[in-house]
Structure 1
Amino acid sequence: MFGAPKTRDLTAPEVKSALDEHRILLVDVREPAEFAAERIHGALNFPLSTFDPGALPEAGDKLIVFQCGTGKRSGMAVERCRKAGHEIDAHLAGGITAWKAAGLPTVSLDVATGHVRDPR
């Protein structure tokens, strides 16, 4: 009759707008090496491998939105939050892959020089 609560899929443009307006706290659940290589400006890193919903920072009046590479791990983070009694239900559908496909900028590491490239 009633299924599990649905994860709220946000598009890359929705997340970008919310980030620009300081309405969300973006939490990247990829592993540290993935995060270091390329990330969305303003995201915090809380890897799924050691993810503890109770350790998430206080977001105040901001919505917490999870993000990963393609949307699978961020969906898993939403589920872990639900099981822990947290009302976090939003993630970036398609992850950083969808973000880049939408033509949005990322912070990346230039492996040849070790410099961080931030197009902002």
Structure 2
Amino acid sequence: MVGQVKKISPSDLFERMKADNFVLIDIRSVQEYQEEYLRGSKNIPIEEFGSYDFSKDYNKAAIFYCRRGRRTSQAADFLNKYPFKEVLILEGGIMAWKAKNLSTVKSTKSPIDLMRQVQIIAGGLVSIGAILGFFVNSNYIAISGFVGVGLLLAGISGVCGLARVLRLMPWNKSIN
């Protein structure tokens, strides 16, 4: 096991990118990565670490990042189990990087984030159910109740049925 996980500031990472021997790993979802990422990084979502072979990079420092730094900070003990030369976390994630006016690679073709799509549809259905229940027939309130139960089950189980269906839609094919 390597020493303690350390944080690296965006400015220090920028300087280090000029010459150092390291691997830059974005732990966010594939879709988040497709939307915007740091040049030279590779996307390995944290949930895929168990099946990914890092062994070719063990002789390097590993620098991990996410959107704001929370996911990487929460995963620090887990990340530290890999025998990299050094384990670093980008302090503040890609948002802190952008706040320093450092460049990222952006995609203009990426769809809206899957969870935002879920929120838009769920919010719309709840609103429609409430409006129809108030103005047309009180039975329409069941739409809001159905969506609420679906969100509750998704929160408890960690599996969102609506997200699974949306992932199959044509506009989301790039994230499969």
What is the TM-score normalised by the length of structure 2? 0.53
1:102 aligns with 2:107: no
Query: Contact 2:58–2:83 (CA<8 Å) still a contact in 1?
Result: no
Rg larger in 1 or in 2? 2
Identity of aligned residues (%): 24
1:86 matched to which residue of 2? 83
Using the alignment, how far apart are the partners of 1:24 and 1:16 within structure 2? 12
Using the alignment, how far apart are the partners of 1:77 and 1:90 within structure 2? 12
Which structure features the higher share of strand residues? 1
2:156 matched to which residue of 1? none
Could you say what secondary structure the match of 1:66 adopts?
strand
1:65 matched to which residue of 2? 63
* Matched AA of 2:42: L
Query: Contact 2:63–2:90 (CA<8 Å) still a contact in 1?
Result: yes
What is the TM-score normalised by the length of structure 1? 0.75
Using the alignment, how far apart are the partners of 2:30 and 2:52 within structure 1? 19
Question: 1:28 offset after TM fit, Å?
Answer: 0.5
Measured on the aligned residues, the alpha-carbon RMSD in Å equals 2.4
Q: How many residues end up aligned between the 2 structures?
A: 107
Could you say what secondary structure the match of 2:103 adopts?
coil
* Structure 1 unaligned spans of 5+: 113-120
> Higher relative contact order by CA 8 Å / sep ≥ 6: 1 or 2?
1
Question: 1:20 offset after TM fit, Å?
Answer: 1.9
